[in-house]
Amino acid sequence: MSLIQLSAGELLDRLNSGQTTAVDVATAFLTRIEAKDFQIQAFLRVDREGALAAAESVDRRRRQNQPVGPLAGLPVAVKDLLCARGELTTCGSKILANFRPPYDSTVVEKLRAADAILIGRTNMDEFAMGGSNENSAYFPTRNPWNLDCIPGGSSGGAAACVAAGMAPLSIGSDTGGSIRQPAALCGVTGLKPTYGRVSRYGLVAFASSLDQVGPLARTAQDVALLLDVIAGHDPRDATSIPAPSPPYLRSIEQPLSGLRIGLVREHFGPGLDSEVESAVREACRVYESLGAKISEISLPHGKYAVATYYIIAPCEASSNLARYDGVHYGHRSDESAIHEALERDRRQLVAAGQSEKAEQLDNVLVRMYRRSRAEGFGPEVKRRIMLGAYALSAGYYDAFYLKALKVRRLIRQDFDRAFEQVDLIAGPVTATPAFKLGEKSGDPLAMYLVDLYTVSANLAGLPGISLPCGFSAEGLPIGLQLQAPPLQEERLLRAAHMFQSVTDWHGRRPRE
């Protein structure tokens, strides 16, 4: 079996036992990227030189019996919205095309400390706004199972690179399903931790009360391995939870006895693809065979989740993205072109006898702000900025934003009541398998509904995991979503591992 076919845990065993070297592992994945990524386009940038230098350093320390970190020699791909000192961090946007942060995000800092080999930066929907990866300012990523299909978003590159064997581990972010949804559509395992479990310091913000960083890998074991490294309190993040993280990998083999799983009544209605429903229900039968008790529950306010999310998230986005003005950093429009446009408009108004209007034209600075943002942001980002600015404007704040916050509380209360009856909530991640590139790109509302089953966990701040549970007749992966009470990632991972111990969906790979 080649190195790229091994799980992260298996690779680590070989590295620690001396059966292979970090340079060999890095070279194997870099070679795979060269062979496959021209089709899939999961990476925005690959750091071959840096990866091999880091791998050589790990090998040298191992030979000298010096201590190495828990991920020593394992390649990790990082979504391109986590700051890395001196490295391009674009968020899939032209407005940050030349941005090189002066510091590391906490997650990148922890990965470096764990001796992970940071192999490259993965493609994403611009500023994490999208569910298909088609909103990247650079190019769309394709699904390794069918190159005509989307990989999901916004962490589409992070999921696709793992599915295609181009990295054993990757880091994504989840604001409304952006880890779980692409994990489901690409047939890998992805975890959205509890809000505050993983530091957001150095994460370029989309919606600050919803964003959460998390791991993607082939198996729950590998997800636990990566979560062990990145989780934990960070005093630099005011929203970081000041609570210790349990040893996720060490406890994952312990089965859960007396497990109570709830199926959400509202998730099995019109719009759910029959193949997805069948795969999810069969997964629940697997859990029943393992001793779990399945019961039906209700989340009555879940039907308002998408509407609530698409008020709160754009409001926060419009505030967070106001900083990109072309002055401090980011794209700045050509000043000579701004001067020329201003003078042209002024001359036209004077020639038309409208001298007063000519004097009222925006000055050069205002024009620079407007042109820089117009040139730097893509259509979806502009749409969400405008939605958010409108909902926060005078006369509409109470009607939209304040009301959305109240509904958000009701959604969280639904979960609190449900978890008095069950230990986990199970259901679909997406209503359908992956759809074709371009199929929904002209219909924003249809694209927003892709997040129907995932946004509630972000609104409530809960952890959720997606794991492969079947395939469609066309050979596209289907994902099972498990959700747990706050800070119960350990329960999610143990339950996911139980399922993967008796099924092989996670072991299947796209045809070459």
Which residues are known catalytic residues?
79, 154, 178
Half-sphere exposure of 167 (CA within 13 A, CB side): 32
How far is Cα 18 from Cα 13, in angstroms, rounded to an integer?
9
Closest CA to 93 of 323, 438, 364: 323
248: Cα separation from own chain's centroid = 20
How far is Cα 141 from Cα 227, in angstroms, rounded to an integer?
25
Contact by Cβ (8 Å): 183, 466 = yes
Please work out, in degrees rounded to the nearest 5, the angle formed at the alpha carbon of residue 136 by the alpha carbons of 135 and 141.
Answer: 100
3-state secondary structure of 453: coil
Encoding tokens for residue 170? 């990757």
Q: Under the phi-then-psi rule, with left for phi > 0, alpha for psi from -120 to 50, and beta for the rest, what region is 43?
A: beta
Closest CA to 446 of 310, 301, 308, 264: 310
Contact by Cβ (8 Å): 496, 220 = yes
How far is Cα 137 from Cα 418, in angstroms, rounded to an integer?
41
Contact by Cβ (8 Å): 52, 46 = no
Q: Could you write out the DSSP letters of every residue in 39-98?
A: HH--EEEE-HHHHHHHHHHHHHHHHTT----TTTT-EEEEETTB--TTS---TT-GGGTT
Encoding tokens for residue 358? 């000519």
How far is Cα 221 from Cα 416, in angstroms, rounded to an integer?
28
Report long-range pairs for 142-146 (Cβ below 8 Å, ≥24 apart).
142/39, 142/40, 142/41, 142/437, 143/185, 143/186, 143/434, 143/476, 144/36, 144/40, 144/186, 144/510, 145/186, 145/187, 145/434, 145/475, 145/476, 145/477, 145/510, 146/434, 146/474, 146/475, 146/476
Encoding tokens for residue 433? 């398998």
- Strands 293-297 and 260-264, bridge-based pairing: parallel
- Strands 43-46 and 117-122, bridge-based pairing: antiparallel
CA distances from 294 to 14, 426, 498 (A): 39, 9, 15
